[in-house]
Amino acid sequence: MRLKIVAGNWKMNMLKEGGENLASEIVKLVSEHKLDNSIKLILSPPAIHLANLSSILDGQTQVSLAAQNVHQELKGAFTGEISASILASFGLEYVIIGHSERRQYFSESDQLLAQKVKAALEQNLQVIFCCGEGLEVRQAGNHLAYVSKQLTNGLFDLPKESFEKITIAYEPIWAIGTGETASPEQAQEMHAHLRKHIAAKYGNDIAENTSILYGGSCKPSNAKELFACADVDGGLIGGASLKAKDFIAIAQSF
Ligand code: PEP
């Protein structure tokens, strides 16, 4: 059975104390609300918070950490970058790769993302691979083909065993940080399409076990109807992950 996941992408937010308080509050609420064991929570803070937050999360099995990015090389003269081997040496479990903001503002191509995925998997990190179309692509009716091509280009060179370490996050760019959410029908259509696309390449078992998250203005008021869709296995949450109560309310929406 595939994992239900609610991951919080803090982006470039949270000063030291705010980040510590947010993580501590989430830990407290998780134990108070006794979240179902089938649900995994992931926090993805700015990288400098990771070591500190791993102490705050020590002993927690339900809450993990993810980096927001990783370099494609394992070491060397790449000032300002962090490699998968460094992340793994700090005990990190997950990394987000291919967020639309990285694709847009840092010109990360599908080919570069494929290299990053490979580097992360070689270090035994689990990958949350983001994909999603812009508004013009959707308006032109090309969204299904566009997003499945992002998966093909970024992931489909992987051997079957490696694909088991991949979680997909479908994030339509027109819904990220805009307050506009994909309707449950739009999310379900894309998620079912991506699952079929994965099945065609890796077989039904792998496809059925791959968690596909929805991201884009997901909040407590709309999470329930999105998570009720058969192929939506949780969410990648931006803005609403910065408030512990909202984040936990979203995790309670399955
Ligand atoms: C995101 O950036 O991953 C995201 C989904 O943001 P928001 O929830 O704020 O739309």
pTM score, whole prediction? 0.97
Which pLDDT tens digit goes with each residue over 170-185?
Answer: 999 999 988 889 999 9
Q: How buried is residue 206: exposed, middle or buried, by Cβ count under 10 Å (0-12/13-18/19+)?
A: middle
Rounded to the nearest 5°, which phi and psi values hold at 184? -55, -35
Q: How buried is residue 75: exposed, middle or buried, by Cβ count under 10 Å (0-12/13-18/19+)?
A: exposed
Kindly give the number of the ligand 1 atom that is closest to the alpha carbon of 99. 3
Residues in the chain: 254
- Give the distance (Å) from ligand 1 centre to CA of residue 215: 6
Which pLDDT tens digit goes with each residue over 126-173?
Answer: 999 999 999 999 999 999 999 999 999 999 999 999 999 999 999 999
Which pLDDT tens digit goes with each residue over 109-133?
Answer: 999 999 999 999 999 999 999 999 9
Looking at ligand 1, which residue's alpha carbon is closest to its atom 1? 238
Q: How buried is residue 155: exposed, middle or buried, by Cβ count under 10 Å (0-12/13-18/19+)?
A: buried
Which pLDDT tens digit goes with each residue over 186-241?
Answer: 999 999 999 999 999 999 999 999 999 999 999 999 999 999 999 999 999 999 99
Q: Which of 226, 238, 237 is nearest to 190 (CA)?
A: 226
37 pLDDT exceeds 90?
no
Kindly give the number of the ligand 1 atom that is closest to the alpha carbon of 241. 8
Q: What local confidence, expressed as pLDDT, does residue 13 receive?
A: 98
Looking at ligand 1, which residue's alpha carbon is closest to its atom 2? 238
Tell me the two tokens of residue 35. Answer: 């979240």
Catalytic sites, residue numbers: 99, 171
Q: What local confidence, expressed as pLDDT, does residue 34 receive?
A: 84
Pocket of ligand 1 (CB under 6 A): 9, 171, 176-177, 215-218, 236-240
Kindly give the number of the ligand 1 atom that is closest to the alpha carbon of 178. 10
